[in-house]
Amino acid sequence: MGRSWRQFVARPVPGAWSSSVYAAATAAFVIILLVRGGPNPAETDAHAVTFPTTAISHGDLRLAQQQTLVPDPPGYPLLTAPLVVAFRPWIGAPRWCDGKAIPAALRGTMSRFYLPILDPCSAPRSAHLTPLPPWYRSQALLVVAAWLVLLAGVVMLVRAMGRGRTVGEGILVVGLVALPATTDAIAQSFHPQDLMCVGFACWGIAELRRGRWYVAGGLLGLAFLCKQFAVLPLLAVIASAPGWRSRARIVTCFVGVVGLGVVPFFLADRIDTVHALSGIYVAGVGIIKTPTVLGLMAIAEQTKLEMARDLPVVLGGGFALWAWWRARERLAQPVPLIGLTLACLSARLVFEVSMWNYYFLAVGVFLLLLDFVRESPPWRSLAWIAAARYGLPWIAAVASPPLTAAAFLIAALIPVAMGLAVVARAPRPRLVEGRIRPEPLWLPSIPPPVLTTSGSP
């Protein structure tokens, strides 16, 4: 099975075939969103990115930070605001109607408050309310751009490892769009910035493989501007870079890009910018217990968030130091590089406060990538993805919070162990002219030449 699989996925395909797969995957992404009722506008997460995008499109950076209700950096609004300016008559609306029915709990006396936010496209609105467009005629359509960044990042990473334009690349792209967390991040909580973050992080790792240190640092800086957890793959990249000079270049460009993106907002509104970047600011929230190990602790919510943001960085830094000590230059190889990145990203799940399906996006993508570079059928990654997406919610519905927290912790530790295990078994790489050589994963089996007495093969 293993050899047959390797031979199958190693088959090269024409560039036109690859382009068709990308187009089909993008169409499938949109169709899945349509089937699921479109992006969810009822959560503050949606308006926390669309309202700032509108403010930036009008040049009001202060208002943009004041409307960032969810503590995220300004990267996604910055990147999508030019599209809003260019196509404002068609996709400029920061709100859109929802094809889903209004829940019964929100009807009655509370309906006047919720109708402007959660409004079925088919329901009549009050005369004084402006009709809301469907999601594909609003800023929600820009989630396609987020998907394209994710798709491009994964493909660039695959090709930087010498594995592009093969059947395996097509299978990986199909797995990417079929990954539940990819559309969960849009249809449930509206987090297109997570797709962009993972895409830029993959692209940055691809540039590391090519030896383009400044470009790698800049792309990881863009990833951080979308979501703060991009610091976790940055740790893996720093550990894998060959030499302190390359590491300094990566970090310098990373800091420079983040600074260029944040400083204008900091000058416009220092307090709100700090709150958004910290990822831990909550006002008036006491102790809330949720079914994770950290969530069940009887400590203030802000303290939990501080631990949830800081401890993964500490743990990921420990993984990176151990991997550098254990493998040194072997971290340049595709398998240990993806494995270390997977372990660092999974550290985030170990210390999460709550369970949201989009949390599984980054880990799911790198699990698929790990099976891809290990030449293995993706049964293990698919099993983890299915168990995390469907098994954990079922456990949460029928089991006690402590049992749910234990199951979630086990689900988080499994990809950590998988990633660190491949680092420990990493083979030594080959370097060409001081650069990491992208070695092909599936080498063709070429028999040795047979020499005859005449000297001809």
Q: What percent of the chain has pLDDT over 70?
A: 83
Per-residue pLDDT at 21 exceeds 90 = yes
Chain segment 327-348, per-residue pLDDT in tens: 888 888 899 999 999 999 999 9
Residue 30: is it exposed, middle or buried by C-beta count within 10 angstroms (0-12/13-18/19+)? Answer: middle
The one-letter code for the residue type at 286 is: G
Q: Tell me, what's the pLDDT at 29?
A: 96
Q: Tell me, what's the pLDDT at 442?
A: 31
Cα–Cα distance, 98 to 114 (Å, whole number) = 12
Cα–Cα distance, 224 to 279 (Å, whole number) = 12
| Residue with more model confidence, 386 or 281 | 386
Q: Per the confidence metrics, is the pTM higher than 0.75?
A: yes
Compute the mean pLDDT over every residue in the chain, rounded to the nearest whole number: 85
Q: Tell me, what's the pLDDT at 443?
A: 33
Q: Tell me, what's the pLDDT at 405?
A: 93
Q: Which residues pair with 12 in a beta bridge?
A: 166
Per-residue pLDDT at 440 exceeds 50 = no
Q: Tell me, what's the pLDDT at 100?
A: 60
Per-residue pLDDT at 407 exceeds 90 = yes
Q: Tell me, what's the pLDDT at 356?
A: 85
Per-residue pLDDT at 247 exceeds 90 = yes
Q: Tell me, what's the pLDDT at 85?
A: 95
Collapsed DSSP state (helix, strand, coil) of residue 330: helix
Q: Tell me, what's the pLDDT at 163?
A: 83
Collapsed DSSP state (helix, strand, coil) of residue 435: strand
Cα–Cα distance, 169 to 441 (Å, whole number) = 12
- Of residues 19, 18, 369, the one with CA closest to residue 167: 18
Q: Tell me, what's the pLDDT at 450?
A: 38
Per-residue pLDDT at 455 exceeds 50 = no
Q: Tell me, what's the pLDDT at 120?
A: 60
> What DSSP character marks residue 359?
G
pLDDT band at 289 (very low <50, low <70, confident <90, very high): confident
pLDDT band at 301 (very low <50, low <70, confident <90, very high): confident
- Measured in Å, how far apart are the chain's first and last C-alpha atoms? 33
Q: Give the DSSP H or E segment for 431.
A: strand 431-432
Chain segment 120-168, per-residue pLDDT in tens: 665 555 555 677 888 999 999 999 999 999 999 999 999 998 888 888 8
Cα–Cα distance, 121 to 140 (Å, whole number) = 14
Cα–Cα distance, 304 to 250 (Å, whole number) = 31
Cα–Cα distance, 262 to 12 (Å, whole number) = 43
Q: Tell me, what's the pLDDT at 282?
A: 58
Place of tokens 């669309």: 50
Give just the sign of the alpha carbon dihedral 322, 424, 382, 220.
positive
Chain segment 68-83, per-residue pLDDT in tens: 888 889 999 999 999 9
Asked if 270 and 235 count as a contact pair (C-beta separation under 8 A), the reply is no
pLDDT band at 237 (very low <50, low <70, confident <90, very high): very high
pLDDT band at 37 (very low <50, low <70, confident <90, very high): confident
Average pLDDT score over residue span 281-285: 55
The one-letter code for the residue type at 171 is: I
CA 411 to chain centre: 18
SS3 content of the chain, % helix, strand, coil (to 5): 70, 0, 30
Cα–Cα distance, 234 to 250 (Å, whole number) = 9
Cα–Cα distance, 37 to 392 (Å, whole number) = 23
**Contacts of 4 by beta carbon, 8 Å cutoff, 6+ apart:** none
Cα–Cα distance, 201 to 218 (Å, whole number) = 10
| Residue with more model confidence, 285 or 139 | 139
Q: Tell me, what's the pLDDT at 452?
A: 36
Collapsed DSSP state (helix, strand, coil) of residue 120: strand
Q: Tell me, what's the pLDDT at 99?
A: 61
Per-residue pLDDT at 427 exceeds 90 = no
Asked if 55 and 32 count as a contact pair (C-beta separation under 8 A), the reply is no
